[in-house]
Amino acid sequence: MSTINDPYASTTDSREGPVFTVTGQDWDTIDASAVEGDHLVINMGPQHPSTHGVLRLVLEIDGETVRDARAGVGYLHTGIEKNMEYRTWTQGVTFCTRMDYVAPFSNEAAYVMAVEKLLGIEAPEKAQAMRVLLLELNRISSHLICIATGGMELGALTVMTCGFRDRELILDLFEMITGLRMNHAFFRPGGVAQDLPEGAIEQLRSTVALLKKRLPEYAALCNANPIFKGRLKGVGHLELAGCLALGLTGPVLRATGYDWDLRKKQPYWGYETYDFDVVTRDEPDAYGRFRVRLDEMWQSLRIVEQATDRLEKMDGQPVMVADKKIAWPSQLSVGADGQGNSAEHIKHIMGESMEALIHHFKIVTEGFRVPAGQAFASIEAPRGEIDCHLVSDGGTRPYRAHFRDPSFVNLQATSVMSEGGMLSDVIVAVASLDPVMGGVDR
């Protein structure tokens, strides 16, 4: 395709110099005499297959060398924080689960932890074990996506197909336990929405067994692969001091050799009782981060196995706090006519107790009140520290909800990781940060 006759974007002049539109394979159509030197400012994205969604990178390049890199975000901003101010505390989960859609449970976890802190309650033991189980499965599926898309961007398509194949196994588990593959809204203030369904333990065990067989494939495909190593080694280098200054957490921080993991340092929901190791590596580059993620999946599998063992022994225990002023009144069930409130509950509120009906109506439409004050909760998400800052004015809705999303903060390192490097390494550097734009823009 020729750039000269492009009816939508013909060559124009700007203050910076002439503007050209090229769409790939047609760089030679640019009139070289119109360009002074090799100095170019190019827009990568927002619609670009290797920017992990709608990320816009403004790159100033000199030949193949990146002189200046700026990231532009906000293309997926949906006002989730503002929307939450007009919904009940329970409905808030439905919103925040959509932020970082690759790791939805982490968003829900940070939010419900902050609400529970404000209420001064603690979820029952079984609910905590289910949360840990889902969070760790989610960590594996999220790291698989990171490795898969990162591989795809290098042209390693086998890594991508393997990654998505194995993530599918975990999404099947999510579907079985929560009813949905993503956007679960499963963690609720006070517990989780539903008990484990029948057959979940067996399914968990068989999936873990299968994953154990398949995870070594990534190591076999990549760890010693000279092309893979050649593309990743030394790219996106950022030492510990840089990570702390720029607020980077998660695998990026642990690849500098610092064992900072909130699951160990500030444990929540019984993480201190699980046996697992924090993975670190003294290679603060894209390759080190890849290896950290790879090893973290194995540690998560260990936690998943332990959580499964515990849940097997907790059959019949409650998954929601006993306080009826907070707990959701009904449970979902699948009947002959589809999914809905359990028939027993409907029978109770419609035929037996007017008070139960009033209670159901009040708690579902009005919600519960949360004492005034503010709370802050942090958990270790697959991408790093996700924090939720909640302010309550004593009402039935959050007065203010703010999320510190790890993707948003980590993405600030784009410039320092890519400037001075090759254009092709920008993609590797961004992929090693593993940003999810839904979380960045919220």
Partner 1 sequence: MTDEKGNRDARDAGTRTQDASHETRSELLRSDTTQLEVVEIREGAFGAPGTGDTSGFGGLTRPVMMPGASQRPFGGWYDEVADRLAAGPGLGDAIEKVVVDRGEITFYIRRQLLLETVTHLRNDPVLRFEFCSSVSGVHFPHETGRELHVAYHLLSMTHNRRIRLEVATPDGDPHLPSVVSIYPTADWQERETWDMFGIIFDGHPALTRVLMPDDWPGHPQRKDYPLGGIPVEYKGGTVPPPDEWRSYS
Helix (H, G, I), strand (E, B) or coil at 18: strand
* 86 near partner 1, rule: CB under 8 A: yes
Give the single-character DSSP code of 219.
I
* 81 near partner 1, rule: CB under 8 A: yes
* Least spacing, CB of residue 92 vs partner 1, in Å: 14
Contacting partner 1 within 252-291 (CB under 8 A)? 260, 265-266
Q: Which two tokens stand for residue 431?
A: 């992929």
Contacting partner 1 within 219-258 (CB under 8 A)? 244-248
Contact 386, 249 (CB under 8 A): no
* 378 near partner 1, rule: CB under 8 A: yes
Residue number, 234 or 395, with CB nearest to partner 1 = 395
* Least spacing, CB of residue 410 vs partner 1, in Å: 10
Contact 232, 422 (CB under 8 A): no
Which listed range, 78-86, 121-129, 274-282, 314-322, lies at the site for partner 1 (CB under 8 A)? 78-86
Alpha-carbon gap, residue 79 to 378, rounded angstroms: 21
Contacting partner 1 within 341-370 (CB under 8 A)? 366-367, 369-370
What would you report as the CA-atom Rg of the chain, rounded to the nearest whole angstrom? Answer: 24
Alpha-carbon gap, residue 84 to 96, rounded angstroms: 8
Give the single-character DSSP code of 52.
S
One character per residue 385-414, x = contact with partner 1 (rule: CB under 8 A): x-x-x-xxxxxxx-xx-x-x---xx-xx--
Report DSSP letters for 257-320, one per residue.
T----HHHHS--TTGGGS-------S--SHHHHHHHHHHHHHHHHHHHHHHHHHHHHTTT--SB
Size of the site for partner 1 (CB under 8 A): 50
Alpha-carbon gap, residue 47 to 145, rounded angstroms: 19
* 372 near partner 1, rule: CB under 8 A: yes
Site for partner 1 (CB under 8 A): which residue of 77, 165, 324, 347? 77
Residue number, 74 or 335, with CB nearest to partner 1 = 74
Residue number, 115 or 145, with CB nearest to partner 1 = 115
Residue number, 46 or 318, with CB nearest to partner 1 = 46
Cα angle, residue 37 at apex, residues 36 and 41 outer, rounded to 5°: 80
- Contacts with partner 1 by CB under 8 A lie at 73-74, 77, 79, 81-83, 86, 117-118, 120, 244-248, 260, 265-266, 366-367, 369-376, 378, 385, 387, 389, 391-397, 399-400, 402, 404, 408-409, 411-412, 441-442
